[in-house]
Amino acid sequence: MTGLSLHEGVHRYLTALECAKIPEGSIRQYRSVLLRLELHLPKRQLASIKTPDLVSFLYGEGRGLCIGLAPTTASAYRSYVRTFFEYAQSLGWIRVQPVVPKMFGTARALRPESPPTRLTEAELILLLQRAEDPMLRAQIAIGISTALRISDIQKIKCGDVNFATGELYVWVKKTGRYDPMPVTLDLDEELRRYLSWYTRSTGKTLRDADAYLFPGFEIGRGRFGMSEAGTTARHVGYQWSANRLKGLYGECGVHTEPREAWHVIRRSVARIYFDRLRTEISQDHALRETAALLGHINVHTTERYLGLQAEKEARNRNLRGKRFIGVSSRDTTVTPIRRPAGH
């Protein structure tokens, strides 16, 4: 298509996002950035926009969109512009996609080092007991029993729960495959309690296989709730779960870093599971089984989750500058290590 204006292209793109049922919050962010692009390049044809135009829009002196923003926010804004032009090229609106560059001459900001929060078993139980909202409590129960990411928990459907086989059939987005997670006795009790409330509130049961177990808000109404028919067709959003969990941390007196939310539970459960297996069997077995629990392919990733770096630092403190071999059990006399004759 030739002669398509930037204004028309943006309008069609936003309409396509709505038809694809992209969350309204995400669409608002796309709309905000792209409308500002229209204001920066008024009455321009889409095909006439080149990389220098985008450099001026994003980093122009004194008025660039990304000037003064946090790196993560600037990266998000760039991605909104880039995906718009990718869409335009895929439909033939433009022949060549302009490059959306990063900020020139900047280094990645270093975050201050802070140890990740890990909760004890008692703290996890306290979170579960103090969660008054049925949806939040059920999500926490699943997180404690499976160490799943909240993004995977939110997408569980009624058809994924199978009490007969004792499995929770979960689509894990990061690995791109289904994982039949075992339903523990604790989780069995929590799920049955939640499903009783769920059926009363939504009229849905486990036979409604396509209904989301954790429903979200109804499009167009701009509010959370499940009183209207059809709300179970969408799952609850991340912000709903994150905000309520952070509030619960405060109520329970649990300190977390500003960026921490649901991964605290996943990380804590993994460490508790690892420590239990390490005591009962061995460290190598514990590491491999914990990697399986978390869905990690590489055990090095699991080590970072478990915070084993702290144990390595303790090892270094205990050994650095001290005698390691040749020390007598009675004194500190050292038997020197000599090279064998002829070598």
In this prediction, residue 255 carries a pLDDT of: 87
In this prediction, residue 218 carries a pLDDT of: 46
The structure tokens listed for 333 are: 């006399």
In this prediction, residue 310 carries a pLDDT of: 66
d(CA 233, CA 93): 33
The structure tokens listed for 172 are: 């894990």
The structure tokens listed for 80 are: 């909104």
In this prediction, residue 222 carries a pLDDT of: 41
pTM over cut 0.75: no
d(CA 244, CA 249): 9
In this prediction, residue 290 carries a pLDDT of: 87
Q: Which strand ranges, in their side-by-side order, compose the sheet holding 177-182? A: 161-162, 167-172, 177-182
Q: Which residues of the chain have a pLDDT value below 70?
A: 1-2, 62, 104-114, 217-231, 309-310, 313, 324, 326-343
Sign of CA dihedral 198, 125, 120, 261: positive
In this prediction, residue 284 carries a pLDDT of: 83
In this prediction, residue 33 carries a pLDDT of: 92
In this prediction, residue 343 carries a pLDDT of: 56
Residue that is written with structure tokens 């990266």 in the block: 75
Helix (H, G, I), strand (E, B) or coil at 124: helix
- CB count, 10 Å around CB of 261? 19
* Phi-psi sector, 3: left (phi>0), alpha (psi -120 to 50), beta: left
